[in-house]
Structure 1
């Protein structure tokens, strides 16, 4: 207990106390300077009745597809491919694919903002191959801004998923694949019947990490579009920042933060339940066949 005490104290002071404070402030109208006024649940009512807030929550759910579903699918594909094909310089190749995950979000946002600009490399490439008609300011167009930010998130997250799945594949018993090949199973059948079920824990971890990143994402959006054009890329974290530090509405910001935290926990909990290994699917030991009565006597 003595060795755990410093970490526990750190956790309480910097995690538990701020959470409790945020929940308490969410029941007040407060600008951070003057006296706080109790308002009950009105801040939460504002979160669920304000159309802008509902739109922001819907944007976060859309980004779940780009930040969680797509990276997991791409990571599974790459991991399955690398486990079957001999690639020279595999270590460097994996490091290159994982590089977006370790870059600063601000660096990623600024780089992609330049790439997707109206005169950026992407549009220049499209013009060079005769597709100039589809060029646009990808982050400044109402129809493409949110998918463009989603694509950036996919690029950032798929490397993490790939490495998690590669580590899981490395721990799978090779004899399972050998038995499947003897039974005539092809690569796709092996992946569906052996690899995918064996990666259930890694898939669960990957989804938890990517879902959390998608719902709390702020710096990537703020440094590319700041929620624009209009409110087409606004997410709850943008409104939390604006209410808390620009509009001085700390009660509304705290209420939205609490709702976002609960939403994240609910979605993560659903994912964990869906991917939990059921007891009836757990491997069972095969009982030894019972010896026929009188067999020992006959052998003797």
Structure 2
């Protein structure tokens, strides 16, 4: 008996040793690690290094210390860019999540209606269209003689027509609405997938207990979608904070700097105004912000149960 126990313990020890060190396994992940290091880790380290210097990208650099990071909080233009992206979070993340939940309620109770697959495809379509195409389409829609102003004129609201992307008051909201249009389909697909994973018996039990549609949503559907909501917010918030292409195509930060965002500021300072150190500091600050917010959102995800 003692010999059997000893042999079992020895086998277990050998198994743990094999699990701890398997050199061949690292060969499979080595190419991915090398690519990750070459195109992400090394550039990130270099960007962090540049952020401590005043450099125009060509000539000699001078030590700046934390001056570039302090400018993120003291430079009005940089500070405003972070405020602008916080406004876009409402359009790019919060509003699509709310609309996605509303559409999920409608579509999950309308499976027997014809054409539901078509409507789902149409709502998700903006996700598969390139951002350059999306921006170009909306530039034409928002143009002074574009579709939006024509529709306003047809319904008797012609006085509201304006050059939307050239208006200091409405330009940022106009860009935000583009993000709402793009991200609502993503949230919808994630939420519909979550609803399909809920056991039908749970809904039946709620209806037997007398739960109406509203109580059923808050008591059954919404708690079951916590994981999908966290994923949707992670994707949309991350996309919002690093948004660049839509702003570049539609307004290039204008009119003035009313639609400038951190990613555009980093690009503009690095390639147009020769402030590479400042651009690097903005990029690092934005990276840290994305990581912190993503971590906070993951706290919404339900804990795995055994």
Structure 2 length-normalised TM: 0.89
Matching of residue 73 in structure 1 with residue 98 in structure 2: yes
SS at match of 2:210: coil
State the shift of 1:53 in Å: 0.8
**Superimposed CA distance per residue, residues 217-266 of structure 1 (whole angstroms, 9 cap, x where no aligned partner):** 11101111111111111111111111111112111100000111111112
SS at match of 1:33: coil
Q: What is the distance in 1 between the residues matched to 2:301 and 2:157?
A: 47
Q: What is the distance in 2 between the residues matched to 1:80 and 1:71?
A: 14
**Count of residues in correspondence between the two structures:** 280
Alignment of 1:144-155 (within 5 A): 144-155=170-181
Matching of residue 180 in structure 1 with residue 206 in structure 2: yes
> In the alignment, which residue of structure 2 is the partner of 1:119?
145
> In the alignment, which residue of structure 1 is the partner of 2:238?
212
Matching of residue 94 in structure 1 with residue 120 in structure 2: yes
> In the alignment, which residue of structure 1 is the partner of 2:73?
48
Matching of residue 35 in structure 1 with residue 63 in structure 2: no
State the shift of 1:278 in Å: 5.6
> In the alignment, which residue of structure 2 is the partner of 1:139?
165
Matching of residue 13 in structure 1 with residue 13 in structure 2: no
State the shift of 1:54 in Å: 0.8
State the shift of 1:96 in Å: 1.1
> In the alignment, which residue of structure 2 is the partner of 1:270?
296
Q: What is the distance in 1 between the residues matched to 2:251 and 2:162?
A: 15
State the shift of 1:183 in Å: 0.3
Structure 1 length-normalised TM: 0.90
> In the alignment, which residue of structure 1 is the partner of 2:16?
none
**Superimposed CA distance per residue, residues 200-220 of structure 1 (whole angstroms, 9 cap, x where no aligned partner):** 111001000000111111110
State the shift of 1:277 in Å: 2.5
Q: What is the distance in 1 between the residues matched to 2:76 and 2:55?
A: 22
Matching of residue 23 in structure 1 with residue 48 in structure 2: yes
Identify unmatched segments of 5+ residues in structure 2: 1-25
SS at match of 1:223: helix
> In the alignment, which residue of structure 2 is the partner of 1:228?
254
Query: Aligned match of 1:157 in 161, 183, 188?
Result: 183
Q: What is the distance in 2 between the residues matched to 1:36 and 1:231?
A: 28
State the shift of 1:11 in Å: 1.1
The structure whose residues are more often helix, as a share, is 2
SS at match of 2:165: coil
SS at match of 1:87: coil
Moved over 4 A (4+): none
Q: What is the distance in 2 between the residues matched to 1:93 and 1:278?
A: 33
Q: What is the distance in 2 between the residues matched to 1:40 and 1:278?
A: 42
Q: What is the distance in 2 between the residues matched to 1:169 and 1:129?
A: 38
State the shift of 1:36 in Å: 2.1
SS at match of 2:168: coil
Q: What is the distance in 1 between the residues matched to 2:57 and 2:281?
A: 15
Q: What is the distance in 2 between the residues matched to 1:167 and 1:121?
A: 34
